Chains A and B, each alone.
Chain A
């Protein structure tokens, strides 16, 4: 069974940093591209970042470019999101999601981890 489990969310002050993790199991993690998608309270879904299976290709949404860094460790079956210079508007539930490249969809999602940026 495919499982994605996020961790690392919490309360952080504006300007602070946080590192999210996503532990993957039930599939060959090193064969899949992965993403972070977020959802602000009461709002819609926003794609945040993409990383290819080998980490050779990385993309970011304009809203986080220069502040967030996506990475992965295929030996540990783990995905990460380093978030720096956090702003109030970064408050959201952050989901890791597997990409099914042929269909170009997010076929499996984690349960999400809440990041709250507030003073």
Chain B
């Protein structure tokens, strides 16, 4: 099974900050990596697919990069509505999709 490890598990940041979250796969997954945002009490929302493709309707301050085993999600200028938990998800072993442990972005 492919394991996904996210770091950090939490990050404190201020509005306007640049935030970077890392996701590492236990084996190469090409570009089969997605990122989701989840707010408390809500379902996850797809942000990024294929490592770097922005889902329709998602603000351009979100971006993704990476391939193989190492990936990043970057929020270029953190907005109040971006405080949430972010999950990566590998899709190399589709349809057996697995998630990282999550990164909580908190207000500093």
Interface of A toward B, CB cutoff 8 Å: 33, 35, 44-47, 50, 52, 57, 59, 95, 99-101, 103-107, 109-112
Q: Enumerate chain B residues within 8 angstroms of A100, measured Cβ to Cβ.
A: 49
* Contact pattern, B 13-42, Cβ under 8 Å of A = 1, otherwise 0: 000000000000000000010101010001
Partner of A47, one of B36, B43, B53, B96: B96
Is the beta-carbon distance between A45 and B94 smaller than 8 angstroms? Answer: no
Partner of B95, one of A46, A95, A99, A103: A99
Is the beta-carbon distance between B101 and A47 smaller than 8 angstroms? Answer: no
A103-B34, A106-B44 given as contacts; is B87 within 8 A of A45 (CB)?
A: yes
Q: Enumerate chain A residues within 8 angstroms of B49, measured Cβ to Cβ.
A: 100, 103-105
Is the beta-carbon distance between A33 and B95 smaller than 8 angstroms? Answer: yes
Interface size band for B = 20 to 34
Q: Enumerate chain B residues within 8 angstroms of A109, measured Cβ to Cβ.
A: 43-45
Is the beta-carbon distance between B100 and A47 smaller than 8 angstroms? Answer: no
Q: Enumerate chain B residues within 8 angstroms of A104, measured Cβ to Cβ.
A: 32, 34, 49, 91, 94-95, 97
Is the beta-carbon distance between A45 and B95 smaller than 8 angstroms? Answer: no
How far does the Cβ of A26 sit from chain B's closest Cβ, in whole Å? 15
Partner of A105, one of B34, B42, B102: B34
CA–CA, A76 to B46, complex, Å? 26
How far does the Cβ of B32 sit from chain A's closest Cβ, in whole Å? 6
Q: Which parts of B83-108 form the interface with A (CB within 8 Å)? A: 87, 89, 91, 94-102
Q: Enumerate chain B residues within 8 angstroms of A35, measured Cβ to Cβ.
A: 95, 97
Q: Enumerate chain B residues within 8 angstroms of A112, measured Cβ to Cβ.
A: 43
Ordered by A's residue number, 13 sampled pairs between the chains whose C-beta atoms are within 8 Å are A33-B95, A44-B101, A44-B102, A45-B87, A47-B96, A59-B96, A101-B94, A104-B91, A104-B94, A105-B34, A107-B46, A107-B55, A109-B45
CA–CA, A46 to B1, complex, Å? 13
- Using A35-B95, A103-B34 as known contacts, list a sample of 11 further A-B pairs with CB atoms less than 8 Å apart, ordered by residue number in A: A45-B38, A45-B87, A46-B99, A59-B96, A95-B43, A103-B50, A104-B91, A106-B46, A107-B55, A109-B43, A111-B42
